[in-house]
Chain A
C-alpha cells in the first residue's frame, strides 16, 4: 500500500501528534479521523470531547457530524453544552484543540466566517461554532487545513479565531489561558511557529513534495527551517485502519 492521498498523509501525521491520556476537543472532518486513528494506535486512552457534549467517546463508526448518535453511545459522560463550554473548555481541561478554516494567516489566525466583505460576502461560510473559544482556551492548537494561495493568503478576510494575532504576539495582552497555535498540518507539509516572530515556519515536507511546491501554494514568502525534515509516510497499518475502519465510504478522505 505505497500509494496514499494527501488527506491520508495529513490524518496520519496529525494522529501521531496525540499522546495517550490527552484530552482532545475534536472537530468534524479530518480531525475526527485523526483522533480516532490515534485512539486505535498509540493513544487508546485519548479522551475525545465533542462540543455537542459527548465526553470520552468511543465511536464505532466515523461520525459525519459532531452530534452523531455514535458519540453518545458508550461514552463516559454526556453533558449539556453549558457544561462542555463552561466546565470543560473554560475550566481548563482541554489539552489539544483541533481547528480548521477556509483561511489561515502566517500568525495562525483563522477565518471560518466569510470570504470577501462581511456585509457583502462573496462566500458566506458557517462561522465560528466553538472555534473562537477553543482557540482561546485549549492548551495547544493543531490545525489541519488544505493549503493553497487562497487559503493561506497574506491577509485573511476575517479573524474568526485568534492565533498569535500579529508579529508581537498581541495574544498575550488578552491573558488567554491557551498557548495558541502549535502545528499546522497541510497537504504539503507541517509548520510550527517561530518563538520570536510568531510566524509560521515550514518544518517538515511530505515525501515527493519540494520546497518550491510549498512556496507556490502559499500567499506569502514563507520561512523554511533548513533543511526541513521529510515526514514519514503513512504506514500500512495507518492506511489499513483509515481505509477499512474509519472512512471506508471516503466521506472525509476524498
Chain B
C-alpha cells in the first residue's frame, strides 16, 4: 500500500487544521458528507468553509460551530428550500455569527480557475447591474487592455485543503470521476493539500486503461481514503442514487435548532465513522438507493 492510504479520521486529523480554508466540493454529485461528519466529530473550528453550494453538509458544519466564515454562491436545499442551520447563523447568530462572502456560481468557478492556474485573479463577464459587488469588495472591475471593455474580476481561491470524493482511485490517488464533475478538478488543483475519498480502490492498470476519466492525478494528492457510501445523502453515479427523500426530510429535521442538534447527536457524534453510519441506515435502506446497471460502451485506446 502507498503511504497515502489512510482512514478518514487520520486524513481529517492530519490535513484539516483549525482556522484552515477548507473546500469539500461536489456539485450535488459526490459531496463527501463523511468528511464533513469527521470534521464535526473532531471539533475542528474557525474554518473558512468554501463551496459553490454549501448543501446539507455545510449546514451541519455551521450548526456544529466548526465554521468561522462561509464562502459560497448558492446556499439552499436544492429543490426543497432553505438551509436552516445557515439561516440561524446569518439571521440570529446561532451558534455563532455567520460571516459570509458571497459570489455567483460563475464567480466561484472563476476563483477556482485562477487558483488552479496560479494566477492572482480571473476576469469574467458578470456582476454588473447586480448589488453583489456592493456587498463583496473582492468583486472588482477592470478594463480589457485590448478592447477597453469592462469585465468583473474575482481573486484566486487557493484553499489550504480540498477534500474531493471520486468513484474510484488507485492507491496513489489517481482519482476517476464520471457523471457530473462540478468544479472538483479546479478545486483540487487550486488547493495546497488534497484528500481523495473514493467509493472503491482499484489497481493502477484499471486507471491507466481509461486515462480520460482521471480528473485528479495522484501527483497533487496527499491522502487517499477508501470509504464506500461516503457521499450519502448525495450520490455517486453508478454506485448509489441521490437520497432525495432525505433532502426533503431535512427541511423538517433541521427547521429548529433542537432538531438539528438531535440529528448531529445521533448521526454524527453518536457514531465513530462511516461504517457505523452505513450499518445504522441498514442493508434494506442502502439497497433502495443502489444504482442500476447502465455501463458505457468501451473505446479502443490502441495505436
Contact = CB atoms under 8 A, between A and B. Distances in A.
Contacts of A137: 125-126
Nearest to A83: B181
Contact of A158 (B27, B128, B131, B183): B131
Given A85-B106, A127-B73, A69 B179 contact: yes
Interface in B113-155: 113, 124-132, 135, 149-150
Interface string B224-248: 0000000000010100011010011
Q: Which of A66, A124, A136 has the most CB of B within 10 A?
A: A124
A128 B129 contact: no
Interface stretch (A48-56, A138-146, A235-243): A48-56
B33 interface: no
A210 B113 CA distance: 51
A80 B186 contact: yes
B28 interface: yes
Contacts of B178: 78
B185 interface: yes
A109 B130 CA distance: 9
Contacts of A123: 87, 91
A51 B109 CA distance: 11
Nearest to B116: A82
Interface residues of A, number: 57
B35 interface: no
A65 interface: yes
Interface of B: 27-29, 52-53, 72-76, 78-80, 82-83, 86-87, 90-91, 102-106, 109-110, 112-113, 124-132, 135, 149-150, 178-183, 185-186, 235, 237, 241-242, 244, 247-248, 294
Given A121-B90, A128-B103, A176-B128, 12 more contacts: A64-B247, A65-B79, A67-B78, A81-B105, A85-B106, A124-B82, A124-B90, A128-B102, A128-B104, A128-B130, A130-B104, A162-B129
17 contacts: A52-B29, A54-B180, A64-B79, A66-B28, A69-B241, A89-B106, A90-B124, A113-B102, A118-B131, A124-B91, A127-B72, A128-B73, A129-B74, A130-B74, A158-B131, A160-B132, A171-B129
Interface of A: 28-29, 51-54, 63-69, 71-73, 78-82, 85-86, 89-90, 109, 113, 118, 121-133, 136-137, 158-162, 165, 170-171, 174-177, 251-252
